[in-house]
Structure 1
Amino acid sequence: MLFAVDYVFASLAVLTEDQSLALRLTSFGALTALAIVVAIVLPRPLGNRAALSFSAAVLVLITVAIFTDPSASFALFSVCPAVAMKVRQPVAWVVMALSILPSPMAVLIRSGFDDELLTMLLPMTALLIIFGICVSIWIDRVIVQSTERAQLIEQLDASRAELARLSHEAGISAERERLAREIHDTLAQGFTSIVALLQAIESELDTDLPSVRRHVGLATRTARENLAEARAMVAVLPPSALTGSLADALRRQAEHLAEETGIEVDCRVPDSLPPLPTATEVVLLRAAQEAIANVRKHANASHVSMEVTVADDVARLVITDDGAGFDPDRPALGYGLAGMRDRAGQVGGAMTVRTGPGTTVTVAVPL
C-alpha cells in the first residue's frame, strides 16, 4: 500500500513539473518500470544473484528518473524500504546510499554547482544516508524477529501435534490396560469358573445327577454374569455386580466361591457400610474378585475369610486364606496382583500381600 501511494504521488509530481514533456515522460517511464520491478520482487524471496540484479535495476531506474526530473526523488520513500527488505546488509546500505545520491547531484547540476547550495546539500545528504541505514537496520531486525517468531510458532505447532500424538497413544495404551484388567478381573475369571464347573459335570454325569444339575445351574449363572459384565464393559458402566450395595456384591462373591469349590468362607462385611464413591467400590470389588480367583486357582485352601472395615477415613478390605501361599520373589505373570495394585493406586490407595503359608491380601483406599 505504501509503495502504491508513493508511486502515485511521485508520478503526479513528475507529470506536473514545469519542464519538457520528453523529460517528464522519461522520468515517469522510469518510475513506472521501478514500480513494476518492486511489485514483482517484494512478494518473493531472493537469492544473492537475484538481490544483486534487483539492486542494479533499482539504481539504474531511480537514477534515470531523478536525473530527468528531480521530483522523482519522492520515490525514495518507498524504494529505500524495499531495498532494506530484499537485500542483505551491508549491501543494502550501499544501494540506499547510491539511490539517495542522484537527488542532490541532480539539483547541483541544474544549479551550476552553487557553493552555498553545495554547503547545504552535503550535510542533508549525509543525514539522509544515515537515516536510510538506520531504517534498514530496523527493518532487518523486524524481519529477523518475524522469522524467528514464525519458526517458534512452527515449532510450537509441531510440538502440539507431537503432544497430541503421544497423548493419543498414551490414551490407547491406558484404555488397553484398562480393558486387560477388566477382562482379567471379570470375564477371564468367569470363564475359568465355567470350565471348572463343566469339568465337574463331566466327571459326575454318570454318577451324581443332583450335583450335575447344581453345577449346570452355577455355570449358567456364571455365564449370565459374564454376559452382564461384558455389556457393562462395552457401555463403560460400573460393574454389573455393583447393581446393589457393595456389601451384597462381596457376599455374593464369597457365596459363589463356597458353592463352586466347597471352601469354607467366613464373610464379615457389615450392612452398615457408609456410602462410598463408585471408584472406591469398584476397586474393592475387583480386588475381592481377584483374590478369590487366586484362591480358586492356586491356593488349595480349605478356609477363606473376607472382612471390610471403614475407620479413620480409610476403607480396608482384608482377604485371608490358609492355602499353600506363593513365592513373593518369583516374577508375577499376568495382570492379577499388578492390576490390583494399579487399581488401588488410581484412587490414592495401596495394596499389600503377605504370604507363606497362607496368603493375606489387604487393600486400603481413602474415602
Structure 2
Amino acid sequence: MSGQTPEPWNAKRGQHPFLLVTVVPYALLAALVVFKVIVERSAGDDSPLVDLALCGVAAGWTLLMFTLRPAWWERPLIMGVFFTGLVAITAILVARDPAFGLFTPASYIYAFTVLRWPWRLPGVAAVAVVAGVAQASDVPKTTALGLTISAIIVVVNIVMMCVTAWFLQLAEQEREQRLQALAELSRTNRLLEATLAENAGLHAQLLAQAREAGVLDERRRMAREIHDTLAQGLTGIITQLQAAEQMHDVPAPWHRPFEAVKTLARESLVEARRSVDALRPEPLETARLSDALTDVAGRWSALHGLAVQVTTTGTVRPMPPETEFALLRTAQEALANVARHAHATRVGVTLSYLEHEVALDVRDDGRGFDLAGLETGASRPPSHGGGFGLTIMRQRVEGLSGSLRVESEPGAGTGISACVPILPAGSPA
C-alpha cells in the first residue's frame, strides 16, 4: 500500500476536490474570525487580537505553502512540512480557545489529500488528538473520571478517523485495481483485435494459396491428360507409320498420303507438347528455373532501381514443375519483402543444384530484424511484411518436404534459404 501518489488536484480545477482544498479552509477561518470579533469583542483584552493574528498566520501559511504553489502539491516532503505547520498552528489556536476545534476539518481535508500512505495515518491521528482535546475542553480535568473521559474522547477520535482513513485507502486501492483491470482489458482487446486482423490476413493468404494450388493442380492434371492421351497416341501413330514403311514398300500412290499423315501427326504432337509446356506456371512457360529467376530479378531491378545478382551453381537438371514453381514463388516473395522493408543496397539470388536437393538463397544487406522475436512470437519481423510472407513461403516449401531457414540480425541484413529435395537424374518417378 505504500508509495501511493495523491491525486493531482491541480489537474482538476473547478471540480469538487479542488474547491475542497482551496475554499473550505479559508471559509472556516473566516467564520471563526467573525465569531471571535462578534462574540468576544466585549471582553476588552488583547486575546481576540492574538487569536485573530494566529488565524492570519494559518491563512498565510496555507496561501503561501499550498494555494499559490500548485507545483508543490505532488512533492511529498514539502506537503509534509506544510501539513505539520498547519496542525501546529491549529493546536495553538485550540489551546487558546477550544472553539477553534471547528478548524480541524481543514486539517483533515489536507491529511486525506496531500499525505501519501502510510504517512496519512499518523497525520490523521495527530489531527484527531487536536480535535479530541477541543471536544473535551469542557470536561473537568481535576478528577480521575474527568481525565478518563477526556482520554476516551481523544482515543475515540483517533480510532474513528484512523479507521476511516484505512477504509478510504482500501477504497482507493480497489479503485486503482479497477483502473488497472480496465487498462489491462483494453490492452487485451487491442491485442485481440490485432490478432484477429492478423488471422484475417493469414486466412486471406491461405485462401489465395489454396486457389493458386488448385489452379496449379488442375494445370498439372490437364498436362498429364494431354501427355498420356493425345501426345502418346500421336507418338504411337507416327511410330506405327514408320514401322509400316520399314516392313513394306509403300506403293507410289500412297507416298503422298503417308507423308501427309506423318506430317500432320508430327505437327499435332508438337502442338500437344506446346500445350503441355504452356500449362506450366508463368514465367516457367518458355524458360528453365534459372532463366526464369534471371527474368524475375531483371524485372524487379527495373522496377526498384536496385541490381540483383543472380548466380546458378552445380549441374542444372530437370525438376518437377511444382518444385520449380515453389522456388520461383519463394524468390518473388523474398524480393518483394526486400523492396518493402529492407532498405538494402545489395541483393543476391543464388540457385544451387546439389546432389540430392536444390537450394535457393536470397540475401540482402538491409536493416534486418531480431530473430528472437520471430521465434518466440513476441514480435513480427519488420522486414517481412508482418510475418505473412514467411509463413506462406515456409508452407509452400515444407509442402514439398523441404525446409526454409531465415538468418537475420538488426542492421546486418537478411538471408532466406529454401532447400527442396529432388530425385537424382535418371531415377524413376
So what's the TM-score if we normalise by structure 1? 0.45
So what's the TM-score if we normalise by structure 2? 0.40
